[in-house]
Amino acid sequence: MLAELRSVIAKFVVLPDEQALTAVTLWVAATHLQPVWQHAPRLAVVGPAKRCGKSRLLDVITETVHDPVITVNASPAAIFRSIGEKEPPTLLVDEADTLFGTLKMAEKNEELRGLLNAGHQRNRPTLRASGPENGVQKFATFAMAALAGIGDLPDTIMDRAVVIRMRRRGQGEKVSDFRSSRDIPSLHQLRGHLARWMRAQRKDAASHAPAMPVADRAADTWEPLVAVADLAGGPWPTLARSACKTMCEREAGRDEDGGLKTRILVDIRAAFAQHDDPEALSTATLLRTLKADPEAPWAEYGTGGLSPRGLQLLLRDYGISSANRRFRDGSQAKGFTRAQFVDAWDRYTPTSPQPAQEPTAATEPIPIVRQPAPPPPPALLPGPLPPPKPTGGAGPARGR
């Protein structure tokens, strides 16, 4: 069934790579077992411009996820009143850039952003005064959600999301047209098979703690997807962990390039290396080295480039500040020692990722080749895959 779902997604949408296709497939399957998960991963479908396939991917997802609730511009009150305690729906938000694309819109929709952040973890209800006596009432927020839009979503949402960075199709990339009357019935049939299979796996999923190749919030976000892969077996555990590790590292790299407070640590480390790793660098020397890099933002930072005061502000949250230093040539000036940065470098800009934890059962990844469409592509995983049985709780599980 996962192979069939993967093929259906690839039939209508060109994903950026095979890892993204694996991630979307597992995310859709995971929506059918939301009562079991501790965290509800968001799916951030973003692209740099129009016509990147974001809405089409949302079309396919809508017809295959558990109990879809799709909206373009709903109020936070309407959304949290749509979420139940036991069987939460799957929230689908198209044109999310109209909610968070500008500072003014982001401020206006701050309550919605808070709801999406809180709903990432179980037992984070929102409180509202309601009724004639203004009694306090709890509303559940826990639900998986997919958001599609142009440009990145707010950082706090992206940090809780499996990020799919869409792009426009190239000349040689073909997909099938999506027709509601023709294609939705078969997608609903597949959704029914997935729901029956996942219900049969509920007990095993609740007790399963998958080995994760990442840590912290990234592990929380990806754990439901990896758990589904482990329940399916075959090549899926390896495919899931490869996608998880690759995509998380890719987003971490974007954070280093885009987040100035992280970027400054990376560039200061390079500055110390450029000067043969001395024990200390003066503030003047450090700033001159930072601004000399034509690909770095420091020459245009602020007014006239990065200043000593601007450098202090960027480093303040790390507890790093300049002080009077004596250098090898006997001179004294304001500056920084290398030792001041070691802890921040280790915590925020590790030079190599932590070693991945491998699944307990060894499985070999299987090459997957995208086939042009039409006609519809064959199953992307090798070996004959019998179609799921339309009835019976255990039938689809045996046919996966």
User: Would you state the structure tokens that stand for residue 360, as one six-digit string?
Assistant: 């307990």
The helix, strand and coil proportions of the chain, stated in percent and rounded to the nearest 5, come to 45, 10, 40
pTM above 0.75, yes or no: no
Give how far the C-alpha of residue 202 lies from the chain's centroid of Cα atoms, to the nearest Å. 24
Helix, strand or coil for residue 70? strand
Domain with CATH 3.40.50.300 in the chain: 2-257+354-398
Parts of the chain with a pLDDT under 70: 73-75, 84-85, 130-131, 253-258, 351-400
How far apart (Å, rounded) are the C-alpha atoms in residues 176 and 248?
30
Exposed (0-12), middle (13-18) or buried (19+): which is 46, by Cβ within 10 Å? buried
Look at residue 58 in the predicted model and tell me its pLDDT. 92
Burial 327-365 (b: 16+ CB within 10 A, else e): eeeeeeeebbbbebbeebbeeebeeeeeeeeebeeebee
pLDDT of residue 235: 96
Chain segment 335-394, per-residue pLDDT in tens: 999 999 999 998 887 764 444 444 443 334 433 434 444 444 444 444 444 454 444 444
The string of DSSP codes covering 276-333 is T--SEEEHHHHHHHHHH-TTSSTTSSTTTS--HHHHHHHHHTTT---EEEE-TTS-EE
- For residue 350, the SS3 value is coil
Query: Which residue type is seen at 12?
Result: F
The confidence score (pLDDT) of residue 255 equals: 55
User: Which DSSP state fits 162?
Assistant: E
Q: Locate CATH 3.30.420 in the chain.
A: 259-348
Task: State the CATH architecture for 259-348.
Answer: 2-Layer Sandwich (3.30)
pLDDT value, residue 243: 96
Q: What is the CATH number of domain 2-257+354-398?
A: 3.40.50.300
pLDDT value at residue 254 = 66
